[in-house]
């Protein structure tokens, strides 16, 4: 049995954390939906940077865009190219969307990362992108920065599906839930059909271990020998523990009388989506962040190498709610060692925004370079 298909027995939807025009043209995405039970696709600036800058798949389309409008700037050219991919993927996923009642079958498109701390501009761009893509199974990706919280409420109130990204802290996740529920209440007040509004909260996993493990290694250098076993035992555990605590928040917030009123009106809970589930430490199992986080009403968006590995040798079983006491103990131990998890998650949020911004700048520069080579006499000031 295909382990990716088996995930769904335990209430988890496998999504694919990658998109490239080649996989749309070749039928690869269609095959994954058919054979692996793939339920959705996510994209981000880094994924598009690798796809457009790292291949010639987009050169013909870029030349076509420039032939019709040579003065388009690189940002406009990017979104024109990206929206073509997003629309094609949305159409391939539409049967999944229909059969799951709008729960799955989603494709995500992220707002420009240079707007991560600009609430009004993010709202405006998100609305423009949603209108341009014009697919019911589109999710607009919005960073979970402080400035992103009002964006979530505004877009949900509009009836626009939202994928909240770059979530690392449980406390911030709870703020995201509040923003989502507030948006639903506004949508309901304004007469919008709640059953057509969907959202996921993308909670990042492996990056937490990458940073906490580094800090634990530093503690080992100065800690008394009696603590060494505990410190070594905590390595590779923080990210999973953090995610399990987030799931406890999910269960608590979406079982309140406040949300039950919305559920009766057709609202969906905002599912947790496990992101950054590719393993960064080669000493760990290459399917660690899938096998340990399988549970009801969740999504795992899986990068290509991890997707292949799990399909080949992964084991699907209900694991998410196991070891909750151990998760609390693990994080308390890490705090007792002087590691500030609030500072860790804030640092990761800042680094995540900067990483996507760096990829976006590289992407725009690559598009401009290609465009200048195609129509050199017409790119001045573009």
Two structure tokens written together for 309: 């590995």
Q: Report the CATH number that the domain containing residue 294 is assigned in CATH.
A: 3.20.20.70
| Mean pLDDT within 239-268 | 98
Tell me the pLDDT tens digit for each residue of 197-218. Answer: 999 999 999 999 999 999 999 9
Domain count, the chain: 1
302 near 308, Cβ under 8 Å?
Answer: no
In a domain, 211, yes or no: no
360 near 51, Cβ under 8 Å?
Answer: no
Q: What is the mean pLDDT of the chain?
A: 95
Of the pLDDT bands very low, low, confident and very high (cuts 50, 70, 90), residue 280 is very high
Set 39, 141, 311, 370: catalytic member? 141
In a domain, 319, yes or no: no
Residue 308 catalytic?
no
In a domain, 215, yes or no: no
338 near 27, Cβ under 8 Å?
Answer: no
Name the CA radius of gyration of the chain, rounded. 21
In a domain, 327, yes or no: no
DSSP code, position 111 = P
Within 10 Å of residue 140's Cβ, how many Cβ atoms? 25
11 near 296, Cβ under 8 Å?
Answer: yes
Which residues are within 8 A (CB) of 191 and not within 5 positions of it... i.e. 6 or more apart? none
In a domain, 225, yes or no: no
| pTM listed for this prediction | 0.95
Q: Is the predicted pLDDT of residue 53 greater than 90, yes or no?
A: no
- pLDDT given for residue 84 in this prediction: 97
Within 10 Å of residue 368's Cβ, how many Cβ atoms? 17
Structural domain for 265, as ranges: 3-204+243-313+349-378
Q: Could you write out the three-class secondary structure of 243-298? A: HHHHHHHHHHHCCCHHHHHHHHCCCCCCEEEEECCCCCCCCCCCCHHHHCCCCCCE
Q: Enumerate the β-bridge partners of residue 163.
A: 141, 200
Burial 85-111 (b: 16+ CB within 10 A, else e): bbbbbbebbeebbeebebbbbbbbbbb
Burial 143-170 (b: 16+ CB within 10 A, else e): bbbebbbbbbbbbbbbbbbbbbbbbbbb
In a domain, 359, yes or no: yes
Tell me the pLDDT tens digit for each residue of 74-89. Answer: 999 999 999 999 999 9
Half-sphere exposure of 160 (CA within 13 A, CB side): 27
Of the pLDDT bands very low, low, confident and very high (cuts 50, 70, 90), residue 196 is very high
In a domain, 234, yes or no: no
Least confident piece of the model among 92-96, 103-107, 359-363: 359-363
Compute the C-alpha angle 376/57/107, nearest 5°: 115
Q: Is the predicted pLDDT of residue 95 greater than 70, yes or no?
A: yes
Q: In terms of C-beta density within 10 A (0-12 exposed, 13-18 middle, 19 or more buried), how is residue 113 classed? A: buried
In a domain, 33, yes or no: yes
């Amino acid at each position: 049995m295909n382990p990716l298909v088996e995930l769904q027995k335990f209430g988890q939807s496998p999504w694919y954390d990658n998109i490239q025009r080649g996989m749309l043209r070749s039928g690869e995405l269609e095959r994954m939906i058919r054979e692996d039970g793939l339920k959705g696709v996510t994209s981000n600036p880094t994924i598009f940077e690798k796809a457009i800058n790292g291949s010639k798949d987009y050169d013909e389309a870029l030349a076509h865009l420039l032939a019709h409008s040579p003065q388009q700037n690189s940002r406009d050219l990017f979104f024109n190219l990206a929206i073509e991919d997003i629309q094609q993927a949305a159409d391939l996923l539409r049967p999944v969307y229909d059969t799951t009642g709008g729960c799955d079958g989603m494709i995500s498109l992220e707002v420009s990362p240079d707007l991560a701390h600009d609430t009004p501009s993010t709202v405006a761009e998100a609305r423009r992108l949603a209108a341009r893509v014009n697919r019911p199974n589109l999710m607009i990706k919005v960073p979970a920065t402080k400035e992103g919280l009002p964006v979530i409420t505004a877009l949900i109130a509009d009836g626009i599906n939202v994928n909240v990204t770059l979530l690392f802290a449980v406390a911030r996740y709870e703020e995201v839930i509040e923003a989502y529920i507030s948006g639903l209440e506004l949508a309901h007040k304004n007469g919008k059909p709640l059953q057509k509004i969907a959202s996921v909260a993308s909670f990042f996993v492996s990056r937490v271990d990458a940073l906490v493990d580094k800090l634990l290694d530093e503690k080992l250098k100065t800690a008394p020998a009696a603590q060494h076993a505990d410190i070594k035992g905590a390595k590779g555990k923080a990210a999973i523990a953090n995610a399990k605590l987030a799931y406890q928040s999910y269960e608590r917030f979406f079982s309140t009388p406040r949300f039950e009123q919305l559920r009766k009106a057709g609202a969906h809970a905002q599912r947790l989506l496990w992101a950054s589930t590719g393993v960064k430490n080669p000493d760990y199992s290459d399917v660690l962040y899938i096998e340990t986080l399988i549970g009801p009403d969740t999504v795992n968006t899986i990068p290509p190498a991890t997707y292949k590995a799990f399909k080949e040798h992964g084991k699907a079983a209900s694991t998410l709610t196991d070891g909750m006491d151990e998760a609390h103990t693990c994080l308390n131990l890490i705090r007792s060692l002087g590691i500030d998890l609030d500072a860790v998650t804030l640092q990761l949020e800042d680094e995540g925004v900067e990483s996507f911004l760096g990829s976006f700048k590289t992407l725009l520069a690559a598009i401009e370079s290609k465009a200048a080579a195609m129509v050199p006499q017409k790119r001045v000031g573009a």
